[in-house]
Amino acid sequence: MAQETMQFKTEVNKLMELMIHSLYSHKEIFLRELISNGSDAIDKLRFEAIKNDKLTEGDANYKIKITPDKEAGTLTISDNGIGLTKEESIEALGTIAHSGTKEFIKLLESKEAKDNPDLIGQFGVGFYAAFMVADKVTVISRKAGEDKSIGIKWESTADGSFTVEQCDKDTKGTDIILHLKEDEKDYLNEWELKEVVKKYSDYISYPVVMDTTKTVEEKEIVEEETLNSMKAIWLKDKADITEEEYKDFYKHITHDFGDPLKTLHYKAEGTTEFSVLVYLPKKAPMNILYQDYKSGPALYVRRVQIMENCEDLVPVWLRFVKGVVDSSDLPLNVSREILQNNKMVEIIRKNITKKVLEAIKTMKETEYDEYVGFFGEFGRVLKEGIHFDMAKKNEIADLLLMESTATENGKFTTFADYVSRMKTEQNEIYYITGKNRAELENSPYLEALKEKELEVLFLTDEIDDIIISSLMNYNEKSFKSILKGDIDLQTEEEKKETNENFGKLTDKLKEVLKGNVSEVRLSARLKNSPCVLVSGDGDMDANMEAMLKAMGQPIPERQKILELNAGHELVEAMNAEFEKNADSPRVAEMGELLFNQALILEGNMPTDPARFTQLLTKVMTDNIK
């Protein structure tokens, strides 16, 4: 096969440029990433060899070898794993296919990037870290099971292109040869390489080896030395593991440079046996809300990694949980399809869910400040459980934090605390959804409730309306959005009086605004504002609508209800004009203006901006004359 030259995808070029110039303070992570890639390649081969033992080619002595060559100025990282075909090398090394790639690149461009090298590992683009220390990278690989003449050679100088050609390779696996930059030759020193491996790759499951020189009886000899401990930390007794070891292992599996928030390590024994070592992170990965986010702990069967991310081991609303699960009861050749219907997996999933929820609940009760930070990072994900897990929804509801009209800015309450403060005659838990507290505090929808000192919860996540709909009630108290439906804050006598006085005006305005609103009625929620638009009880929340629109989802057309404040002088003046002349054009014009004003209050444009401007100008002119 003749050598072919190909262009990197645009985002790869941009990514390499940023990594080379932005992450200079943690260049040594290139070795961590390449060793991790080698470990993954061996995991894949061991898994495939369960079904086809010929893939091992008689060699099951798995390892990752580091070879510094000071004369050539190269550093080679070799593995005897699954290897690559030509097509796989082009796909894996020339393309990135993540929905969050643009955001990732934007973050790399920020000032914080040089202090966040963990982002590389989280996004699975660690191979390109090699270009931080090398001006040329050569990859020689052969797929396990292929003839030795069907190797591939991939090469690039990070100039926007790469070459690929067929070559001979005697052994399966991959050699990554880094042609080091002149000022990066320290990575050819034995002591430097040992230090980096110990720091970042001590827990790799396979030997990371290097030929080292030793003096024995005044003679220098070269022998292969294993640089990492290869401890299966999750199988050790808790008493034999230090806090630092737990932290180091967390950093190894998550590529997070920070410490974990909580560590859960235990062994389940009895009819089913499995070991669990999982962590709650302190910070949410930037791509946790993306569809292609890889969730779930790594699944091992008798120390053999079967899956790097087994999403069946934790529910989607606990996808931030990271770690390892090792089962001695599952078959080594278990497939993803078998896992989905496996009773053992269901037992493990329920067990981990229970343990994690207990840890979160304990943190909330005993370490509240720490919990507030945790909820700020993962509350949006945690509350998804109310929608997806009916059996756990009440338990999760007790973990939610939110602000309200009764809390200071930045302070939180819970559903339980809200219910404990409810007035004797109050039957519903009032809430309002929106973008942030500052916006909601000044909402006209709050006016009457504030006057009556009725507490209202501020819910600011775009999914909150769906979550509340799934929860339906708390402690036998139903939820009521003050943006939807009618709010019963008046006595029957007050309702009767206002309807008698203004009922004909609302009928007239409904006729004027036909096609724009479903109804015009008098409001019990307003005190200072003349009008608002209200959704029907079963309508979709505006936050949810905005999120679905951003995702390109169709939104059903619907008309809202226009509510008028019978106590406002403008509405009173309109009613007086209407009673004098039921066909007065001024009443129709004021009705149009009020409807468009209500649209603007919602953050929308008037239905006809030109017409709205004309009417507003006319009213202002009439008032000046």
Where do the structural domains in the chain lie, given as residue ranges?
A: 4-225, 233-374, 402-481, 492-536+553-624
Summarize the confidence of residues 426-443 as an average pLDDT: 93
State the alpha helices, DSSP H only, in 117-189. Answer: 118-122
385-400 tens-digit pLDDT:
999 999 999 999 999 9
Answer yes or no: pTM beyond 0.75.
Answer: no
Q: How many other C-beta atoms lie within 10 A of the C-beta of residue 197?
A: 23
Asked whether 50 and 333 are in contact (CB, 8 A), the reply is yes
State the burial class of residue 242 (Cβ atoms within 10 Å of its Cβ: 0-12, 13-18, 19+): exposed
What is the b/e burial string over 343-380, where b = at least 16 CB atoms within 10 angstroms of the residue's CB?
A: ebbebbbebbbebbbebbeebbeeeeeebbebbebbbb
Alpha-carbon gap, residue 289 to 304, rounded angstroms: 30
Q: % helix / strand / coil in the chain, to the nearest 5?
A: 45, 20, 35
142-160 tens-digit pLDDT:
999 899 889 999 999 988 8
Alpha-carbon gap, residue 352 to 315, rounded angstroms: 9
Residue with tokens 């004909």: 504
pLDDT at site 25: 57
pLDDT at site 621: 87
CATH ID of 402-481, from 3.40.50.11260, 3.40.50.1010, 1.10.287.1770, 3.40.50.300: 3.40.50.11260
> What percentage of residues in the chain have a pLDDT greater than 70?
90
249-296 tens-digit pLDDT:
898 888 788 899 999 999 998 778 899 999 999 999 888 888 778 889
Question: Does residue 371 or residue 258 have the better pLDDT?
Answer: 371
Alpha-carbon gap, residue 461 to 395, rounded angstroms: 19
- Distances 423 to 269, 303, 329, 426, 488 between C-alpha atoms, Å: 50, 58, 55, 5, 14
pLDDT at site 1: 64
Summarize the confidence of residues 488-501 as an average pLDDT: 80
Residue with tokens 């050609």: 165
The beta-carbon contacts of 150-154 under 8 Å, at least 24 apart in sequence, are: 152/84, 152/85, 152/86, 152/89, 154/84, 154/89, 154/93
Q: Which residues contact 295 (CB under 8 A, 6 or more apart)?
A: 309, 311, 314, 316, 319
Alpha-carbon gap, residue 407 to 398, rounded angstroms: 18
- CATH number of the domain located at residue range(s) 492-536+553-624 in this protein: 1.20.120.790
Quick check: helix, strand or coil at residue 309?
coil
State the burial class of residue 266 (Cβ atoms within 10 Å of its Cβ: 0-12, 13-18, 19+): middle
Summarize the confidence of residues 105-127 as an average pLDDT: 54
Domain 233-374's class? Answer: alpha beta
Quick check: helix, strand or coil at residue 482?
coil
Summarize the confidence of residues 522-543 as an average pLDDT: 86
- CATH number of the domain located at residue range(s) 4-225 in this protein: 3.30.565.10
Backbone angles phi, psi at 402, to 5 degrees: -155, 160
The DSSP letter of residue 539 is S
Backbone angles phi, psi at 79, to 5 degrees: -135, 155
Asked whether 135 and 16 are in contact (CB, 8 A), the reply is no
Alpha-carbon gap, residue 576 to 582, rounded angstroms: 10
User: Among 529, 567, 570, 534, which Cα is nearest to 447's?
Assistant: 529
36-88 tens-digit pLDDT:
889 889 988 988 888 887 787 666 789 999 999 999 999 999 999 999 999 99
Residue with tokens 């683009």: 125
Lowest mean pLDDT among 91-105, 448-462, 594-608, 611-625: 91-105
User: Among 117, 120, 165, which Cα is nearest to 138's?
Assistant: 165
Residue type, 252: H
Alpha-carbon gap, residue 406 to 458, rounded angstroms: 10
pLDDT at site 43: 86
Residue 297 structure tokens: 């702990």
488, pLDDT greater than 90: no
418, pLDDT greater than 70: yes
Q: Which residues contact 596 (CB under 8 A, 6 or more apart)?
A: 606, 607, 612
18, pLDDT greater than 70: no
Asked whether 506 and 565 are in contact (CB, 8 A), the reply is no
